Amino acid sequence: MEESKLIVIAIGGNSLIEDSKHVTVKSQYEAARKTASHIVRLVRSGHRVVIAHGNGPQVGFILLRAEFAKSILHSVPLDSCVADTQGAIGYQLQMALYNEFAKEGLSPQVVTVVTQVEVDPRDPSFLKPTKPIGSFMSKEDADNHRLNDGWDVVEDAGRGYRRVVASPKPISIVELGTVKTLVDHNVIVIAAGGGGIPVVRHPDGTLEGLEAVIDKDLAAALMAKELKADLFVISTAVEKVCLNYGKPSQKELDTIGLKECQTYVDEGHFAPGSMLPKILAMMDFVKTTGHVGLITNPENIWAALYEGKGTKIVP
């Protein structure tokens, strides 16, 4: 890691909301600041950085506010929710990075790019939406949304009803050229937040937003591949990827080859709603580029590069 590298970092929800008791905007900024301090160490070491982030809880807050205000205000389309959170979270990360750089006497430029991500309208996820969003509802509210708003709603293990939407695979980053230009001019870029705003491209070349959610790690992996990044880092809640997570037989993994990684996936070691999408996104990046990927928690982002922390996925 002596030479300058282009690093794409996908930061997860714990980088923005540390726990259920710290969800206010002020608390989210403090969480962003802590993550920013670790990213600053990478930039100080000479690396260029592009940051992607999650937005699940924040979108949930917007939808809940809209639900409470439905008698006096229009509903907010899901693509607009993603755009809103890209701006708000980008602002927090920009300020956090600016302030952390100021402590070091540095002043690099940081910018957020509101990013559209193209998906295939024929993606099979549109035929059977499964991604839960928003809060729980009563059966009455669920039936009302299903009838009047066209929502897909499912009952969730006796806890109530939730809206589900499609989660299509990303196929291209619309603003990729803008991101490349900024990176080439040594600007730190925050892009593809929340997996990007899902859009489809019509035959005439125009774009249209969709009520869908793109997996943040898959979108970040696509961006890392298209930017020809030297390294892809996924920041999550644990320092290392584990087998038998949470059990007495738990085993931390230091380095995993692609073949070994696929075996663990096939054996069902990684939870579908948690580590599995991160592993699949990382495998895609490593297989396509031949470069190394890292999975670790925010406080070990720098140490994963220089001190052997985290889990490396290698070709």
Residues designated catalytic: 13-14, 131, 216, 278
What single letter denotes the amino acid at residue 258?
L
Tell me the β-bridge partners of 255: 312
Return the residue matching tokens 């291209």: 172
DSSP designation for 169:
P
Return the residue matching tokens 């970092």: 9
Sequence-separated contacts (24+) of 257-266 with Cβ below 8 Å? 257/313, 257/314, 257/315, 258/283, 258/286, 258/287, 258/313, 258/314, 258/315, 261/313
Alpha-carbon span 279 to 287, nearest angstrom: 12
Alpha-carbon span 313 to 289, nearest angstrom: 12
Tell me the β-bridge partners of 133: 163
